Amino acid sequence: MKMYGTIISTVHQLDSVLEDITSLCHHSLAEEGLQSPTIFLVSNSDSDLYHFPSFHNTIEDKIGELKRYEIFQHISKEGREEMDRAFESGGLPEVASKMLLCLKSTDNVTLNIGVIGETGAGKSSPVNAIRDVLDDQGGAAPTGVTETTMAPTMYPHPTFHNWELPGLGTCNFQLNNYLEQVGFESYNFFIVVASERFKENHAKLAKRINERGKQFYFARTKIDNEIEASKKHRPSEFDSTKCCN
């Protein structure tokens, strides 16, 4: 029972650290006029840690939602007369059958996710993890501390295209015309990535994305560094050796 209690205490301590980091992120973004945006804390070395499972599920849910929307848009433009005929010949059951066929065709809808962040923020690791690809695996987005993406680069996935976009705030990609440079209209939604903290540019960019009618999520990367720092300051609460006593 002592071992179990120590494990629970360690988990609670980790949860507390994650809550503190999230709170600080919300505070810095609120100073720039963004109130309570969705923020995920993720590791650049292990996609099973912290908020990544929730992050992955959220992205998958959003993709499904947008695919259904695209299908209904298609129906409204090109399939209305067919639906009318279906209703006249078979009533609501026939219409429902037609709708189900349309929903099944979502597999033919390709969506595009734009991943944005400053140079060195760790954009590539989330891009790879969402695709279930390891950083050193063939076809993975290259990772590194220097800028490796000088143009929007597409990394395929069975249900969407994941685009790693050039570093925000570099000499070639300033905030004022960044969205135009990377082809804003090409993407269905965006993931805004930061490592150490969210800055004014992140908030301004997110607001511009929102003003243009598209959604974004924030991903705070390199959380492992924060956890290690907390372990150094409060080692007794993170001491895994206690679990064996």
Report pLDDT for 109: 73
51 and 126 Cβ atoms separated by less than 8 Å:
no
Q: Distance between CA 17 and CA 144 in Å, rounded?
A: 27
Strands (E), 140-185: 153-156, 160-164
Per-residue tens of pLDDT for the chain, all 245 residues: 344 444 334 556 788 888 989 999 999 899 888 888 999 999 888 888 899 999 999 998 998 888 877 766 666 555 666 666 766 666 667 666 666 666 565 566 788 999 998 888 888 888 888 887 877 777 788 776 555 567 899 988 877 888 999 888 888 888 889 999 999 999 999 999 998 789 899 999 999 999 999 999 999 998 888 888 777 776 665 654 433 33
Long-range contacts of 21-25, Cβ-Cβ distance < 8 Å, separation of 24 or more: 21/220, 21/223, 21/226, 24/197, 25/197, 25/198, 25/218, 25/220
pLDDT at 240: 45
Record the tokens describing residue 239, joined without a space.
Answer: 């001491």
Q: What is the 3-state secondary structure (H, E, C) of 86-130?
A: HHHHHHHHHHHHHHHHHHHHHHHCCEEEEEEECCCCCCHHHHHHH
Enumerate domains of the chain plus CATH numbers. Answer: 22-62+110-244 (3.40.50.300)
Residue type, 63: I
Q: What sign for the dihedral angle of Cα 225, 229, 234, 236?
A: positive
From the CB of residue 192, how many other CB atoms can be counted at a distance below 10 Å? 25
